[in-house]
A and B are shown apart, each in its own frame.
Chain A
């Protein structure tokens, strides 16, 4: 239980700080510290992400940054893909699923490093004021 709470807080801090999804930390955390297998870890992480995404969305919406109709359309369009992804994940063996997730982690790592090393703009430096986007 304590391990799960620590994973949650750590994943949340990373998500809030860097803008990467918490799942990228939840999944290895669930595997390393709670001993879940890859299938259980990925599925459990999906559910754990929901409250975080809801809170983030409510906050963003307050600042007027959420295009609600587009979000709804995107979300609904992605459901078919999600169903396919879940079926695929369950068809794959644990090691294959694990290696695929590890590859995804490497991609996120590369993207983060590229953003951080890029000359100015992007990269999580929020120092520069960005024009507020009026709807």
Chain B
């Protein structure tokens, strides 16, 4: 949501908007995770087991983005998301 606001109101280029928004997310996610931790909802071990390998995933994904047809993959993932949303609600 921050990205379009930065582009429309502050006239950011898409890349700058995305990068700045991601930097802001560091604060927000860390703070929200800490707050959730107070509620006892955070599984520390699972978060580390997911979050650390994800770094390698992001680097690999960024590398792949230069080499794969972005639109086809976006459509494919869009379908996967839809299916997962339905599964999440129905299970």
Contact = CB atoms under 8 A, between A and B. Distances in A.
Interface residues of A, number: 91
A48 to B, nearest CB: 3
Contact of B24 (A9, A74, A115): A74
A9 B13 contact: no
A73 B82 CA distance: 34
B18 A19 contact: yes
A120 to B, nearest CB: 10
- Secondary structure dominating the interface of B: helix
A101 B84 CA distance: 11
Contacts of A112: 74-75, 77-78, 81
Report which residue of A1, A5, A53 has the largest number of chain B beta carbons within 10 angstroms of its beta carbon: A53
B29 to A, nearest CB: 5
A53 B49 CA distance: 16
Contacts of A101: 88
Given A30-B50, A116-B74, A124-B73, A50 B33 contact: yes
A78 B27 contact: yes
Interface string B31-60: 111011101011110111111111111111
Contacts of B50: 4-5, 7-8, 11, 26, 29-30, 44-45, 48
Range of interface residues on B (Cβ < 8 Å)? 35 or more
Report which residue of B25, B62, B75 has the largest number of chain A beta carbons within 10 angstroms of its beta carbon: B25
- Secondary structure dominating the interface of A: helix
A82 to B, nearest CB: 4
B35 A83 contact: yes
B84 to A, nearest CB: 5
A67 B16 contact: yes
Report which residue of A13, A18, A20, A125 has the largest number of chain B beta carbons within 10 angstroms of its beta carbon: A13
B89 interface: yes
A126 B69 CA distance: 9
B76 to A, nearest CB: 9
Given A11-B57, A74-B2, 9 more contacts: A16-B61, A20-B77, A36-B43, A40-B43, A43-B42, A48-B48, A51-B54, A52-B55, A116-B74
